[in-house]
Each structure stands twice: as C-alpha cells, then as structure tokens.
Chains A and B, each alone.
Chain A
Amino acid sequence: MADAVIVVALLLVAGSATAAVAVRDPARQALVLSVLGVALAVLFTVLQAPDVGLSQLAVGSALTPLLIMLAVRKVRRCGRTGDETR
C-alpha cells in the first residue's frame, strides 16, 4: 500500500518535471514549477521526510515561482522601453 503511494508520487513528480521543461514561456513555466513544488512536497512526505517537505513547500511553491515572475515582468518592461526609445 505504501509502495503504491510512493510509485504514484514519483510518477506525478516525473510528469510535472517533464511539463516544466516542455513549457517554453517562462511565465507559464513559473506556474508549472509551483505544481512541481507541491508534487515534490507530497513525495517527500510519503518518503517519511516532513522536514524536507515543509522546506520544499515553502520555497519551491512560493518563492522560486515568485522570483521567476518578477524577473519576467522586468525583462518585458526592459524590452518595451527599449522599443519605444529606438
């Protein structure tokens, strides 16, 4: 029973990782990375690692996607003002 849960969690993580790499738009990739973070947190909890799951949930689902979206916004603004002054 525990084995089946671990296998399902592993497959979820593999699927979200593939999606995170396949999505080419960085803004959408940030959301998929958030899903990957949640899937990883589930996997870590099932593997009896609540400390690591807590850390991954806080960092991977909130912090990293937020930083990526802020970077995307800044790069878009840079590109836009560059086009206006050209």
Chain B
Amino acid sequence: MHVLPYLVAAYIFLAGCYGLATSRNLIHAVGCLAVCQSATYVLLLAVGYRDGATAPVFSDLKPGSRPVVDPVVQALTLTDIVVGATVTAMLLALVLQIAKRHGTVDPDELRELRG
C-alpha cells in the first residue's frame, strides 16, 4: 500500500507507451498518449496525499481544524488536464490532415516520405 499508487502510475504509463508503439491507427495512438498523460496525474496526486487529511479548500472547513493534502501538486495537475486536452485536439487535427493528404492513418503505411 505504501508504494502501490506509484507502481500503478508506472504501469499505466508503460501500457500507454506499449499501445503507442504497436498502434495500427494514428487516432488510436493519440488515445494511448492520453492514457500516458493520465498516468502522470495519478503519480502527482499520489505524491501529494496525506493520510486522514481532507481537501485544501476552506470554504466549509475551519482553517487549522484538520490536516489538508498538498495543494501544489493539485494545482499542477488541474491546469495540465485542460491543456493536455487541447494538445490532444491539435494532434487529432494533424491526423486529419494526414488522412486527407495520404489517404491512410496506418503508421506502417506512412513510413516513407513522399514528395
């Protein structure tokens, strides 16, 4: 239990990498990249967790009454999720252009650069 979240994060990252490397469809590869990104979110939040603590929001909690988890890693992950989605969108736009110009989204058929 002391290291399970870190190992799960590593497993998710490696699964995403495997899917990315063995993919036969570029859109599927972009989805695997999203899986890799979610592994980093799990790792960050696992680092910031504290046993018996609550969320670092004091709108309904008297400050100092309970310990709180680390807010810095949550702030990092929060912006990362939204920005990661827009980068995924740009990658999908690139895949659309590839499909239009080359007629295929299979990475094995796209290996040679054609003039």
Interface residues of A, Cβ cutoff 8 Å to B: 2-3, 6-7, 10-11, 13-14, 17-18, 20-22, 24-26, 29-30, 33, 36, 40, 43-44, 47-52, 55-56, 59-60, 63-64, 67-68, 71-72, 74-75, 78-79, 82
- Chain B interface size, as a band, is 35 or more
Cβ of B32 and Cβ of A13 under 8 Å apart?
A: no
Q: How far is the CA of A43 from the CA of B92 in the complex (A)?
A: 27
* Contact A75 B24, beta carbon cutoff 8 Å: no
Contact B96 A49 (CB under 8 A): no
Please state if A13 and B57 are interface contacts (CB–CB under 8 Å): no
**Which of B15, B35, B49 is the one whose CB lies under 8 Å from A47?**
B49
Contact pattern, B 16-32, Cβ under 8 Å of A = 1, otherwise 0 = 10110001110110111
Q: Which of B1, B30, B103, B105 contacts A68 (CB 8 A)?
A: B30
Q: Contact check, A29 vs B28: say whether CB atoms are below 8 A apart.
A: yes
- For the complex, what is the distance from the CA of A13 to the CA of B42, rounded to whole Å? 9
The contact of A26 among B28, B54, B96, B103, by CB within 8 Å, is B28
Q: Which residues of B contact A6 (CB under 8 A)?
A: 5
Which DSSP category, helix, strand, loop or mixed, fits chain B's interface?
A: helix
When distances are taken between beta carbons in the complex, the residues of chain A under 8 Å from B24 are 24
Closest CB in chain A relative to B99 CB, distance in Å: 5
Decide if B77 touches A17 in the complex (CB within 8 Å): no
Number of A-B contacts defined by CB within 8 Å: 134
B91 to chain A, nearest CB (A): 9
Least CB distance from A39 to B in Å reads: 9
Measured CB to CB, the nearest residue on chain B to A33 is B31
A52:B81 contact, CB within 8 angstroms: yes
**Are A21 and B34 in touch, CB under 8 angstroms?**
no
Given contacts A17-B15, A52-B74, A64-B34, contact A10 B8 (CB under 8 A): yes
Judged by a CB distance under 8 angstroms, whether B113 is at the interface is: no
